[in-house]
Amino acid sequence: MSSHQIQSFADALKQSADHFHGLQQSGRKMIGYFCTYTPIEIIHAAGFIPVRLRGGPGTVEKAYSHVPDFICPYLKRCMENATDGRYDFLSGLVQGYTCDAACGVVNIFGDVVDLELIHAVPLPYADGEAARRYFHGVITTLADKLNAMDGRFSNEALQRSIALYEKIYGIIDQLYQQRLDGDLSIDAGDLQTIMDAGDVLTPEDYLRMLETLKKPPSEHGPQAIDGCPVIISGSLIESSVIFNLIASAGGRVVADDLCTGWRRAYPDYGHSEDPVDRLFYRHCTRRPCPSRSLAVDRSRVLTDLAARSGAKGVVFMVQKFCTPHLADYPILSDELKAHGLPSLLLEIDETWQTGEQLNNRLESFFDMIAASTAEKLS
Amino acid sequence: MNANAKTKTRKRLQSSKELGRVITEYYMKCTSAKSEGIPVGWMPPMNGVIELFYAMDLQPVFPENWSPVCAAFGLTPQNFTVSENMGYSRDLCGYLRNIIGYVHGMIDDKNSPFGGLPEPDLLLTPWGGCVPVMKIFHALERRFPEAKIFRGDLPQVPIEEINDDHIAYVISEMHRLVEFLSHATGRRLDLDRLRETVALSDQACALWDEIMTYRTCIPAPFSAAEMGIMFVMVTLQGTQTAVDYLTMVRDEVRQRAADGAGVIENETFRLFWDNIPLWYNMGLFNYFEAAGGVMVAETYSAAWSIRMDPSDPFRALALKTLYSYPMVSCVSISKRKEMVIKACRDYHIDGVILHRNKSCAPITLGQMAIKRQLEDELGIPSVIIDADHMDARNFSMAQFQTRADAFMEMLAAKKQHRAS
C-alpha cells in the first residue's frame, strides 16, 4: 500500500467541506448521523448521502449556549461546528439511539441547524422474533420520513445499498484482518485515516478508493514489527495524534474495538432474502457498544481479539464524560486482568492535546507489559 | 439571605411528618420479605413493572430510590469512596456510584437506615432508560450472581412519536416478564388482581394530579420542600397504602388551599425547579423563602403520574413504561419544553431555577433551550445553578447563594418596575 494511496484518503478528509458544498450545489441531499448504529443503508436507499458528523479537535465556546460542559467532547465539538455553520450542507439528522448525550444533542440540533428532518431511531436492544417485528416497524417509520422529504426508498433500493456497504465493509474487514495477522504495511493512524474518509465521501466514491487498496496477503507471511502489541478500545478517535503517541511510547496497535474502527465494519449482513431482516441480523450481531451492551460481553470480544492478535494489553481511550465507557471500565479491567490482560484508561478532551503526562503513562504501561513478559519467559 | 442555610427542609404539612411511618413500613416490608418467603426483585423506577410485582405479591425494591435515602442520612461519601476505589469515575452519575458503593460496602451492615436493603432474588435489568441506570443493573448482575435476571427491552421513543408498533412491542415485553416471573417464583398472575392493582395506581395518580393542582393557588399550600411525599409514587404505586397516604395529603392540602394558608407569610415570588433536587440538601428549597420566594412546582414530580386504564392493564403498563422516562429526560425535549411552559402558566411562575446537574446529563440537556423559550414566550427569567443531585462535592453553597441572591434581587426589581 503506497503513501500516495493513503494520501488520497487524507486529502478527502481535508477537502470535505468543499466536497459537501459541491454535492449540495449539485442537488444531492445529505443526512448527518453521530453513531454507527444508525441504519445508514436506509438513508442511502432513499437516495440521500449519509454523512457521519465529525467533531474534530478544537475548542468549545459557542456550544455552551446549548449544552452543558459535562457531555463528551465529540458531541460538544459537533455542536460547536453546528453553531459555526459547518453543517449547513445537511438536509437532515438521523441517529440510531445509543447514548443519552447523543440523544439529547439530536433533540436540540434543530435549534442551530435548519433541517428538514431530525429523527432518533428507537432501535431494539433485544433480538428474537418480537424485536425483529418491532425493528421492521422502526425501519418503516424511518423510510416514510425520508420519503416525505422527497426520498425514494424501496426494498429493491435497499438491496442495492446493502450490497454496496457489504463490499465496503468487506474490504475494511480484510484490512483489519491483515493487521491482526501482522500482514498490513500501514500503521494504525493510516488505517484510521482510511476509515475516517468514509465519513466524508459518498459510499460509491469510497468503495472506488478502497478497491485500489485491495491486495492479496503477503506470501512471506506475517512481518516482524517492533512495539508492544496492544488493542485500542473506545468510542471514536478523531486524531491520528493518539496513534502516533502510542507508537512513540513503544506500543503497536494490532486490533481495535472502536466505534469508528473495526466495530463499524463487522459483521456481515447474513443471508436472509428480506433486506430489512439482513439489517436486523447485522444490528443484533455487531460487536458490543457499551451504550447497548454488558461490559462482560465486551470483555469476551477483547480477550478473543487478544488471543487472535497476540495483544499483550488493552488501552482504553475514552472521551471525557463518556458514561457508557467510563461505567464499563471497572468491570472490563477486572475481567481482562483475570485473563492476564493488563489495561490502561486514558481520557481525552476536545482539544485532543496529549501532552507529556499521557506519554509517560503509555510508556510506563508498555514497560510494565515488557517486564511482565520477560518475567514469564525467564 | 442567611449564609448558613440548613440542609434539612422546613416542612409545613402534617402529612409530611406521617411520611416517616410510610417509609419505615415500606423498608421493613422489604427486609422482612425474605423471611416470609416473598421474592425480592430490584428494578428501576418509572415503568409498569411495579404494578406487576404488587399484583403477584412480590416485593419490589428500587436501588435508585435508596440513593436519596443514603443522601439524607449522610451515607453517600462512604459509598462513593467504595465505588471510586473500584475505578468508577467521579464523572459518572451519583446514583450509580452510590448504589455500587453500597452493594460492595455497607449492605451487610444491618445498622444502616431502615435495616438496609435485602439482597435481590430477581434483577430486572432495563435495556433503555438512561445509560447509568442500565449500567447500575449490569454491575448488580455481577455483584449478585445468584439472582435470576430478566433483561427487558425499552426502546426510547419521544412521546410525540409513540405509535402502535412501540406499544405492541412493550406489551410483548410485559408478557415475557410475566412468564419470567411465574417461572422464577412459581407465582401466577391473576388478571383481576392486576386490574385492581392498576386501578389503585391510577387512583394514586389522580390524587397526585389533584394535589399538584392545589399548588396553582396563590399562595401555594405547600412547596417543593415537601417533595418527599413523592416516595409513595416511586415505591408504592398500585397499593392501597399509596392511595390512603395521598388521600390524607390531598385532604390537608385542599384544606390549606381553602384557608389560604401559604408556605410563608408573604409569598412574593413563585418559583419553578427544573431537574432532580439536591437530595443531600433539600433545605435549599427553603432558601428562597427569606426573599419571599416559594418553589411551587417542579418538572421531576410530574413524571410520576401517568393515568392508567385498568380495563386494559397490559396496555396501561406499556404506556406508563413508554411515557415516564421521556417526560423528564432528553428523549423528548420538545415535549418537556411544552410541559415547562404549561406549568409556568398554570402555576403563575415568576422565575425558574434550572439545576444544571452534573449527575444527570439526560435531564440537563435541553435546559438551555427551555431557558430561551421561557424568556421568549413568557418573559420568565431563569437562573442556572451548578450542582449535583447526589454528590455534594459538586456543589458550592457560596456560589449558589451568589447566584440565587442576585436572581431574587432581579425578580424583585422586575416586580417593582412593573408596579411603578
The alpha carbons of chain B give a radius of gyration, in whole angstroms, of 21
Cell matching residue A59: 475548542
Average pLDDT score over residue span B93-112 = 94
65-84 in chain A: CB under 8 A from chain B: 65-68, 70-71
Model confidence at B236: pLDDT above 60: yes
Give the closest of A124, A294, A326 to B155, CB-based. Answer: A124
Helices B240-259 and B14-35: crossing angle in degrees, nearest 10, is 170
Q: Do A134 and B169 touch (CB under 8 A)?
A: yes
Q: Do B155 and A138 touch (CB under 8 A)?
A: yes
Check residue A292 and give its pLDDT. Answer: 92
**Which chain B residues are closer than 8 Å to A108 by Cβ?**
333, 365-366, 368-369
- Tens of pLDDT along B121-149? 999 999 988 999 999 999 999 999 999 99
Check residue B278 and give its pLDDT. Answer: 96
Q: What is the four-CA torsion angle of B4, B8, B13, B19, rounded to 10 degrees?
A: 180
Chosen from A60, A99, A107 to mutate, greatest number of chain B CBs within 10 A? A107
Q: Which of B131, B136, B128 is nearest to B61 (CA)?
A: B136
**What residue has cell string 454496496?**
A164
Question: From B129, which residue of chain A is nearest by alpha-carbon distance?
Answer: A100
**Which chain A residues are closer than 8 Å to B158 by Cβ?**
107, 120
C-alpha of B114 from chain center? 20
For chain B, counts of helices (H) and of strands (E): 16, 8
DSSP H helical segments within A202-259, as ranges? 203-211, 241-248
Give the closest of B131, B154, B334 to A100, CB-based. Answer: B131
Q: How far is B156 from chain A (nearest CA, A)?
A: 5
Average pLDDT score over residue span B173-202 = 98
Cell matching residue A8: 488520497
Check residue A226 and give its pLDDT. Answer: 85
Cell matching residue B110: 444491618
Check residue B9 and give its pLDDT. Answer: 78
B351 pairs with which residues across the strands? B271
- Tens of pLDDT along B366-394? 999 999 999 999 999 999 999 999 999 99
Q: Do A323 and B142 touch (CB under 8 A)?
A: no
Q: How far is A36 from chain B (nearest CA, A)?
A: 17
pLDDT-based confidence at residue B195 (cuts at 50, 70, 90): very high
H-helix or E-strand spanning residue B385: strand B382-387
pLDDT-based confidence at residue B10 (cuts at 50, 70, 90): confident
A vs B: CB pairs below 8 A: 139
pLDDT tens for chain A, residues 1 to 378: 677 889 999 999 999 999 999 999 999 999 999 999 999 999 999 999 999 999 999 999 999 999 999 999 999 999 999 999 999 999 999 999 999 999 999 999 999 999 999 999 999 999 999 999 999 999 999 999 999 999 999 999 999 999 999 999 999 999 999 999 988 888 999 999 999 999 999 999 999 999 998 765 555 555 557 899 999 999 999 888 899 999 999 999 999 999 999 999 989 999 999 999 999 999 999 999 999 999 999 999 999 999 999 999 999 999 999 999 999 999 999 999 999 999 999 999 998 887 788 999 999 999 999 998 888 877
Cell matching residue A142: 424511518
B298 pairs with which residues across the strands? B273
Distances in Å between the Cα of B226 and the Cα atoms of A19, A185, B113, B212, B355 are 58, 67, 20, 12, 18
How many C-beta atoms surround the C-beta of residue A340 within 10 A?
12
Q: Do A100 and B89 touch (CB under 8 A)?
A: no
Q: Do B92 and A323 touch (CB under 8 A)?
A: yes
Question: From A344, which residue of chain B is nearest by alpha-carbon distance?
Answer: B87
Report the C-alpha gap between B118 and B102 in whole angstroms. 12
What is the dihedral sign for C-alpha A74, A75, A76, A77?
positive
Question: From A132, which residue of chain B is nearest by alpha-carbon distance?
Answer: B169
**Amino acid at site A254:** V
Q: What is the four-CA torsion angle of A200, A206, A210, A212, rounded to 10 degrees?
A: -120
The domains of chain B are located at 33-189, 194-419
Check residue B132 and give its pLDDT. Answer: 96
User: For A354-358, B118-122, B150-154, B222-226, which range has the lowest pLDDT when averaged over its residues?
Assistant: A354-358
Q: Do A125 and B333 touch (CB under 8 A)?
A: no
C-alpha of A342 from chain center? 24
Report the C-alpha gap between A186 and A170 in whole angstroms. 18
User: For A35-44, A58-67, B14-23, B326-335, which range has the lowest pLDDT when averaged over its residues?
Assistant: B326-335
User: Of all residues in chain B, what percent carry a pLDDT higher than 90?
Assistant: 89
Q: Do A323 and B361 touch (CB under 8 A)?
A: yes
pLDDT greater at residue A377 or residue B309? B309
Report the C-alpha gap between B33 and B314 in whole angstroms. 26
Report the C-alpha gap between B155 and A135 in whole angstroms. 10
Check residue A377 and give its pLDDT. Answer: 78
Determine the 3-state secondary structure of B241 from DSSP: helix
Own/partner pairs, B100-109, CB within 8 angstroms, 24+ separation: B100/B136, B100/B139, B100/B143, B102/B63, B102/B66, B102/B70, B102/B75, B103/B63, B103/B139, B103/B140, B103/B143, B103/B144, B104/B143, B105/B78, B105/B79, B106/B75, B106/B78, B106/B79
Any idea which architecture B33-189 has in CATH?
Answer: 3-Layer(aba) Sandwich (3.40)
What's the number of CA atoms in the CB half-sphere (13 Å) around residue A362?
29
